[in-house]
A and B are shown apart, each in its own frame.
Chain A
Amino acid sequence: MEELLEIGVAFLLVAIGGLLAVKLRQSVIPAYILCGMAIGPYGFNFISNPGIIEFMSKLGVIFLLFFLGLEFSVGRLMRAGKPIISSGILDLAINLPMGYLLGIAFGWSQMESLFLAGIVYVSGSGIITKSLTDLRRLANPETELVLGTMIFEDIFIAIFLAVLSGISLAENASMASISLSVIKSISFCLVFIVIARRYGRRIGEIIEIESDELFVIFLFSMLLLVAGVADMIGISAAVGAFLIGLVFAETAHVGKIEEKITSFRDVFASMFFFAFGMTINFWAFGDVWLALLIAVPLSIVGKVFSGGMAGKINGFSRRASLNIGFGSVARGEFSIIISNIAMGAAYLAPIGAFTAAYVLILAILGPILMKVPDVIYDRL
């Protein structure tokens, strides 16, 4: 009984925190994390049975990645064309190595630095899309480039996660073991990509289930089965969920799936961010504040530079280029997911606390910085 009560309180807190964030026109993600920190073991230590919350948090990651897979389409990226490819490559070439070098400079291990590279590189697409809508920038010509670049990032991150979980879950640190593990996860991905391409339509016909109830239950079963198999053979469940999303993306049911699953995603994702917050020790911020002081400004500069350059080489006006740069600063859910996988692989050290604070700061600063070009140009 106690468990139910605790989970009820957790959800209530998350709901109130989220409402407050929305009132303050902020992303809900930092609010969820803060709630987790507040009543987690390092805060008021209210949750005595974290088991169920951790399980829901797992489901949260699975749903988040499943949606990423659903919306993912190589064809769409190709159609978007050269500007997005060039912008994506520029973004990758600047921000990913920067993250890695930061990790090395902080004296973190090679693996931890690799994870940091991903955390620093990937933008918070949810936060950015919402801010672009609020700022009435959706119709601007440069917005296509901003959103397209984030699709590029998502694709890269999916591959990156598969490889990274391959490396981190290798049995030992020998080169042979690592490469075997990486090959295993890449071939697992390839199998699914082939299935998606070849049999997508056929699978669509199979899941042509009239009853909405059974449709959702069947979907759940597929999702959990593939995530479970991925987990079992040493590729993270998140990657498995992404891959099954890819398969369903090729069926005719994408719209229906999104409609039926969105609320599940929202509920479990909130528990994911909450559970992530629970693992964060306030006092650990003392160990990472210096790293944050260096990483946050550099992360902002990195995105403003790569985005601004991308705008410039694609012939956008100076103001539009600045919009691209300042528009890509926010970090969000995917940085947290990468950090979560890192922690799962027992690369603890400071990554959790660092990422929590890092996302907290950049999820709030990101939308504010998006207005910088307006301020510059309206004053002139």
Chain B
Amino acid sequence: MREIKEADLPGVGRKYTLERTETGNKLVVIVHNDGKRELYCFGDGNELPCSAVIELNDVESREIGAILAGVYFKPKIVKDLEAVLSELVIKWYKLPKTSPVVNKCIGEKKIRRRTGVSIIAIIRGSESIPNPTPDVYLREGDTIVAIGTEEKLPAFEELIFETG
């Protein structure tokens, strides 16, 4: 495990140094007290002065940081938004005209008892109904937000999408 050295720069901020022994160069990050970041790159043998300096503001640093960490991913088309909370999965479904639950109230189909999946919100056009009660009717074109375990969701999907 490579170590990143930390040091105080009184009146300026903090300094983080990554020494890369195999390539003989060195990367230094300075985090200024005012939020500005500077990246300094030292060439062979840590020769002075440094060979490159890049200055970034707070927002830029965070974005670049996310890219470097490999977590920066912005999907172009949001088809199936999924959020995984340990075992639980939250999913978004758009109700087609053919769905058997359209024009039925939530309680009528006993969705939760039959599938173990709960509807936590309904998005209807520009309005949304958080935490709907069993007497709320589902309509064609509604987007329903459901929460359940990975195993239980297929049964739920079958129920809301089954035809005939």
Interface residues of A, Cβ cutoff 8 Å to B: 71, 76, 79-80, 125, 129, 132-133, 136-141, 143-144, 147-148, 150-151, 317, 319-320, 323, 374, 377
Contacts and interface: CB of A to CB of B under 8 A. Distances in A.
B48 A76 contact: no
Interface in B12-39: 12, 15, 17, 28, 30, 38
A132 B42 CA distance: 17
B80 interface: no
Contacts of A144: 7-9, 15
Given A139-B30, A147-B9, A147-B12, 4 more contacts: A136-B50, A138-B30, A139-B38, A139-B42
Contacts of B38: 138-139
B48 A320 contact: yes
A151 B12 CA distance: 12
A377 B28 CA distance: 23
Contacts of A147: 9-12
Given A317-B48, A319-B48, A323-B48, A150 B10 contact: yes
A109 B127 CA distance: 84
B161 interface: no
Contacts of A151: 10
A151 B11 CA distance: 9
Contacts of A138: 9, 12, 15, 30, 38, 40
B48 A139 contact: no
Contacts of A148: 10
Nearest to A320: B48
Contact of B8 (A80, A125, A137): A80
Contacts of B53: 136
Contacts, number: 53
Judged by DSSP, the binding face of B is strand
Q: How extensive is the interface on chain B, given as a class?
A: 10 to 19
B12 A139 contact: no
A253 to B, nearest CB: 15
Contacts of B40: 136, 138-139
A321 B38 CA distance: 23
Interface of B: 7-12, 15, 17, 28, 30, 38, 40, 42, 46, 48-50, 53
Contacts of B10: 71, 76, 147-148, 150-151
Which 6 pairs show the lowest CB-CB distances between chains A and B?
Answer: A139-B40, A139-B28, A147-B10, A151-B10, A129-B11, A138-B30
B11 A139 contact: no
B130 to A, nearest CB: 31
B107 to A, nearest CB: 46
Nearest to A374: B49
A89 B48 CA distance: 26
A129 B12 contact: yes
Contacts of A139: 15, 17, 28, 30, 38, 40, 42, 50
Contacts of A79: 8
14 contacts: A71-B11, A129-B12, A136-B50, A137-B49, A138-B12, A138-B15, A138-B38, A138-B40, A139-B38, A139-B50, A144-B7, A147-B9, A148-B10, A320-B48
A125 B11 CA distance: 9
Nearest to B9: A147
Nearest to A125: B11
A268 B38 CA distance: 31
Nearest to A378: B49
Most-contacted residue by chain A among B8, B11, B42 (CB, 10 A): B11
B59 to A, nearest CB: 19
Nearest to B11: A129
Task: Name the residue among B10, B15, B48, B50 with the largest chain A CB count within 10 angstroms.
Answer: B10
A137 B49 CA distance: 8
B50 A140 contact: yes
A136 B11 contact: no
B36 to A, nearest CB: 10
Contacts of B15: 138-139, 144
A344 B111 CA distance: 85
A310 to B, nearest CB: 16
Contacts of B48: 140, 317, 319-320, 323, 377
Interface centre among A138, A317, A374 (most CB of B within 10 A): A138
B69 to A, nearest CB: 22
Contacts of B7: 144
Contacts of B28: 139
A139 B25 CA distance: 13
A368 to B, nearest CB: 17
B6 to A, nearest CB: 11
